[in-house]
Every structure is written in structure tokens, then in C-alpha cells.
Amino acid sequence: MRLVLYGDFNCPFSALASARVAKIERRGIAEVEWRAVQHDTAISPSGELIRENRRRDFERELDQIRSLLVVGEPDRLRLPERRANTRLANEAYAAAPLLLRAARREELFSAYWTDGSDLSDDRVVDRIAGRVRDSHTATGWQDRWTALPRPTVPTMVLPDGYVSRGLGALARLALLLDAAHQEAPAW
């Protein structure tokens, strides 16, 4: 089974999707092509400080994500100080060799959501993902994602072309893991 998943490194729901995808990949349940996108292109290239009102919104999102965790899923998400513009991270991720992309994706999510690193900072992205950038591939992912009806993150495209968005995509990933654990069909 092959899945395409769109997510943003600064989105906590995408972080949960990535963690579930990592388990799916490690268990060999499905082949997942993760495409990094920017769900908010209005964020300044240097990122932006998370102010009090926005901080409360993020805290509510993190509480919602904690309510979605299934048994065995650790709570590793910490509220960062800054909203990152993820263009640089997306381009560095796109430049990673295919065999290293899954690890690179996990490193970028962990750097932002666990360590609080600013993915808007060139030096931080260089340290985590290297200096090479692939803007062509990243732009292609962004264009294909924005062409989807109601683009949101995470968005998962199933083998039959069905598009599952947001909480639905997270639920389908959890079902896929559970079904593989029980050796039953996922959907």
C-alpha cells in the first residue's frame, strides 16, 4: 500500500501524523511519501514570536492532540517560542536522499516540537538537515497540495485517490496501525 501525506513541520497535528507514519514505516505496513508543505505562507521568513493570544490557541491544540494519543504514543510536543516559517526546512527535507527522508522528517519535527529549535533560521536547518536545498521539489509539493480541495494539514491521499484531511487523516493512520497490530483490514 502506498500513501501520500502532506504536512507542515510547524503544525502539531502534522507532528502526530509523522509519529504515526514513522511507526507505519518501521513496521513495513505501508510505503508513505511525506511531502512537506507550508500551511501558512504568511508567516514572516524569519518566523514570529508566539504572543499570548496565539499561545493560548497553540495550548488548546496541544491539549486536543493529547486527547488523540492512543496507548503507547508518548507526549513529546512542547510549545515552541516562535512560529517557524518552514520554507527552508521543506527545501532541505526535499533535498534529502529518499532513503534518509523519514529520519530527516523525524529530526525536523523533533527539533521544533521537542527541542524548540527555530526552523526559520538557516543555521538551525543546516545543522539538522544539511545545507543542500531543493526548492523545485518543495514548490511542486506545495502546488499539488494547494490544488487539492480544502487543503489542510495533515492531508493523506489513499491508494484509491480518496483524500483524508486533518483529524480524519490522523484517525485513519491510527486505524492502520491498530489493524496491522490485529492483522485485520484497516478500511
Residue 183 has a pLDDT of 58
Q: What would you measure as the largest C-alpha separation in the chain, in angstroms?
A: 46
pLDDT reading at 64 higher than 50: yes
pLDDT reading at 77 higher than 80: yes
In a 10 Å sphere around its CB, with 0-12 CB exposed, 13-18 middle and 19+ buried, how is residue 165 labelled?
middle
The mean pLDDT of 69-94, rounded to a whole number, is 96
Residue 179 has a pLDDT of 83
Cell 488523540 appears where?
68
Give dist(CA 129, CA 91) in Å, integer. 10
Which residue segments constitute the domains of the chain, with CATH numbers given?
2-182 (3.40.30.10)
pTM: 0.94
